[in-house]
């Protein structure tokens, strides 16, 4: 889940960013209205936290211009102005909710969750695939009833997979939703995190849920019996992979950051089959 915070007061912006990141969101900060509008136009955010009094362009103008462009991202207005008129003006401009400063972070978080639940990218309270269950309110994850402890980045990655079961997610998609917009898709950080996640979510379980789609990215799904049979050949016992570090050995070409899913459909290959050199 990606959140854009448009706030010119550095201290407040840092406070919100840190809190939301701890809650597992990916956060970008814009320090004025124009930058905020620009980022919201070029990027695909799940929610915008928008201050009203901003340099260069007011929060109300940002909100109005977004709606004029049919950008439907949920907007939570944040302002020291706690008057009914301002609240009405904000909602009239297409904002979805309003929070007066100062606020308790827990209230901001509750409103963020509520907006995400009713926004375009609805996050259900509970996400489930096979025996893997994710509670998006408590941020707890279990598989076959066993607790799985995830870091906030691993959690964000898993949530994005669980929101898109069966869909091949390219590295570009993963980086846009789980990392920030300055992220270098050609680095192997994504593979490293996928590995961490596999070690926690798949390694000790018979049915693997995270699969590599060679040349494209990754998909989370329950394999059909046929696909599983395909997975059983060579390299058995290799599923118990190293705990850390990328799987790509030196010299092995990196998976392309962007690629046509259609062109490579049917090439799904489990990680266990990849040649590993060490």
Tell whether residue 86 is a contact of Ca ion (CB under 5 A). Answer: no
Which residues are CB-neighbours of 272 under 8 A, at least 6 positions away?
A: 208, 231, 235, 236, 238, 239
Which residue bears the tokens 């308790």? Answer: 104
Which residues are CB-neighbours of 38 under 8 A, at least 6 positions away?
A: 30
Span of 2-10, 31-39, 152-160, 244-252 interacting with Ca ion by CB under 5 A: 2-10
Q: How far is the CB of 52 from Ca ion (least distance, A)?
A: 7
Query: Which residue number has the CB closest to Ca ion?
Result: 53
CB 169, CB 217: distance < 8 Å: yes
Nearer to Ca ion, 13 or 123 (CB): 13
Interface residues for Ca ion in 5-34 (CB under 5 A)? 8
Interface residues for Ca ion in 38-77 (CB under 5 A)? 51, 53
Nearer to Ca ion, 51 or 271 (CB): 51
CA distances from 12 to 23, 30, 57, 222 (A): 17, 12, 18, 43
Interface residues for Ca ion in 192-251 (CB under 5 A)? none
Residue environment code for 221-253, b if the CB has 16+ CB neighbours within 10 A, otherwise e = bbbeeeeeeebeeeeeeebebeeeebbbeeeee
Nearer to Ca ion, 8 or 28 (CB): 8
Nearer to Ca ion, 98 or 218 (CB): 98
Interface residues for Ca ion in 121-160 (CB under 5 A)? none
Nearer to Ca ion, 51 or 176 (CB): 51
Size of the site for Ca ion (CB under 5 A): 3
Distance CA 117, CA 220 (A): 22
Query: Which residues contact Ca ion (rule: CB under 5 A)?
Result: 8, 51, 53
């Amino acid at each position: 889940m990606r959140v854009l915070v448009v706030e010119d007061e550095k201290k407040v912006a840092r406070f919100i960013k840190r809190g939301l990141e701890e809650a597992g969101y990916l956060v970008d900060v814009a320090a004025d209205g124009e930058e905020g509008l620009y980022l919201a136009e070029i990027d695909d955010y799940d929610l915008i936290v928008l201050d009203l009094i901003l340099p260069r362009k007011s929060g109300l103008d940002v909100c109005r211009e977004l709606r004029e462009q049919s950008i439907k991202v949920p907007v939570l207005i944040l302002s020291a102005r706690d008057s009914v008129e301002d609240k009405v003006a904000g909602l009239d401009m297409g904002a979805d909710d309003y929070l007066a400063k100062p606020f308790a972070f827990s209230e901001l978080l509750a409103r963020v969750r509520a907006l995400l639940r009713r926004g375009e990218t609805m996050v259900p309270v509970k996400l489930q695939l096979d025996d893997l269950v994710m509670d998006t309110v408590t941020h707890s994850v279990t598989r076959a009833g066993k607790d799985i402890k995830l870091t906030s980045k691993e959690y964000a990655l898993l949530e994005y997979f669980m929101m898109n079961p069966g869909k091949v997610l390219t590295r570009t998609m993963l980086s846009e939703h789980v990392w920030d917009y300055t992220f270098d898709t050609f680095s192997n950080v994504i593979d490293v995190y996928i590995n961490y996640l596999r070690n926690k979510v798949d390694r000790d379980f018979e049915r693997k849920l995270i699969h590599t789609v060679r040349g494209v990215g990754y998909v989370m799904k329950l394999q059909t019996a046929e696909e599983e049979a395909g997975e059983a050949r060579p390299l058995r016992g290799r599923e118990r992979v190293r705990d850390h570090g990328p799987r790509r050995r030196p010299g092995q070409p990196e998976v392309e950051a962007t690629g046509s899913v259609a062109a490579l459909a049917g090439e799904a290959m489990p990680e266990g089959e990849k040649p590993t050199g060490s």
